[in-house]
Amino acid sequence: MRILRILESADHEITQREMAHLLGISLGKTNYCLAGLVEKGYVRIQRFKNSRNKAAYAYTLTPRGIRERIRLTVNFLGRKMREYELLKHEIAQLKKEVKALDDK
């Protein structure tokens, strides 16, 4: 999900090294993840000539990749909202326990 978010918001000429740095993972892991996203059809890689390098690559999300990022975001938000509600309930319970101990 994080790679999809980076690719959606970043300059299409971002390097794998820059992406790895943003993600806090190794270049090898970044390459492996990108290859998987390309294989699933979520990301397209285009090679082009660049004045700094002999060849550079542009990474773009495909329409399928955009749909997957949205799906992952919805699932993530749902999971975090459930966690939030559970924590809110647990905090309320702990407050009751503390109040009961203070009243003794």
CATH of the domain at 81: 1.10.10.10
Q: Which amino acid is at 87?
A: L
How much is the mean pLDDT over the chain?
A: 88
pLDDT band at 65 (very low <50, low <70, confident <90, very high): very high
Structural domains of the chain, count: 1
Write the DSSP assignment of the chain as a string of letters: -HHHHHHHHS-TT--HHHHHHHHTS-HHHHHHHHHHHHHHTSEEEEEE--SSSS-EEEEEE-HHHHHHHHHHHHHHHHHHHHHHHHHHHHHHHHHHHHHHHHH-
Residue 54: its pLDDT value, please? 58
Taking 70 as the threshold, does the pLDDT of residue 52 lie above it?
A: no
Domain range enclosing 22: 2-103
